[in-house]
């Protein structure tokens, strides 16, 4: 696991903090993602995943009464072909032991950090992060790259999601029922999330999808008017791509 991270610990006056790790399983549907393995989109296009990097920020655990325990810090999760994809620790935090009804976070860089001078920022930000575009758009929040196995030959494709408009809110919480429960014992533990990477390839309104047969759609990012519509489709599906592991 590379690209990790800075994290400011949480201190709550009068509360005993338990150490907790946030872990992630990469999935394709309900199966573990394996780099180098060939998968197929709903439209029948075959592909492989080569790398995935994304920022996590503004993490908070949600108590049963709706109050939040917020964790300061920003991390860069970095998955590559030579690394693991299951149970990967991406963040460490200290939180009060007890019962929670969920977790929320954003995939992306907070606005107040997204437009600072990257030349003065330290990892996981900065120009050496491999995630920086420029001052105005800021950082790439979610970077997914792979190969499309097309009849005419293999073609590289990328999905680079960024700009403040494409910061992805993830809300895995339920205050109305006990369907979502996270128990943090005094000794601490782990919260494990599944990330279904294949959600990016689900079709949108009118059946629009990322068609790698079109050269212009192999470089998908939110900065281009030509690809911004399909990036909106990817953004919509990514909001539900995370789930709590059972």
Record the pTM: 0.90
Cα separation of 170 and 22, whole Å? Answer: 14
> What backbone torsions phi and psi does residue 111 show, to the nearest 5 degrees?
-55, -40
Cα separation of 79 and 92, whole Å? Answer: 17
pLDDT value at 53 more than 80: yes
Q: What is the 3-state secondary structure (H, E, C) of 106-164?
A: EECCCHHHHCCCHHHCCCCCCHHHCCEEECCCEEEEEEEEEEEEECCEEEEEEEEEECH
Give the tens place of pLDDT for each residue, 202-222. 999 889 899 999 998 999 987
């Amino acid at each position: 696991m590379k690209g990790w991270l800075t994290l400011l610990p949480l201190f709550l006056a009068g509360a005993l903090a338990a150490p907790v790790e946030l872990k992630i399983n990469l999935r394709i549907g309900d199966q573990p993602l394996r780099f180098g393995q060939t998968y197929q989109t709903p439209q029948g296009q075959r592909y492989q995943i080569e790398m995935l990097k994304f920022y996590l920020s503004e993490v908070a655990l949600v108590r049963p009464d709706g109050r939040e325990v917020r964790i300061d810090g920003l991390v860069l999760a970095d998955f590559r072909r030579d690394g693991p994809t299951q149970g990967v620790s991406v963040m460490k935090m200290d939180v009060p032991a007890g019962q929670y009804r969920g977790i929320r976070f954003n995939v992306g860089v907070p606005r107040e950090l997204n437009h600072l001078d990257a030349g003065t920022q330290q990892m996981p930000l900065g120009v050496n992060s491999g995630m920086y575009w420029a001052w105005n758009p800021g950082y790439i929040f979610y970077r997914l790259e792979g190969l499309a196995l097309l009849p005419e030959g293999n073609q590289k494709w990328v999905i680079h999601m960024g700009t403040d408009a494409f910061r992805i809110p993830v809300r895995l919480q339920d205050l109305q029922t006990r369907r979502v429960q996270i128990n943090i014992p005094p000794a601490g533990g782990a919260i494990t999330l599944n990330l279904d990477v294949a959600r990016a390839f689900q079709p949108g309104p009118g059946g629009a999808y990322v068609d790698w047969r079109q050269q212009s759609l192999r470089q998908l990012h939110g900065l281009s008017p030509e690809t911004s519509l399909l990036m909106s489709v990817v953004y919509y599906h990514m909001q539900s791509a995370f789930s709590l592991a059972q």
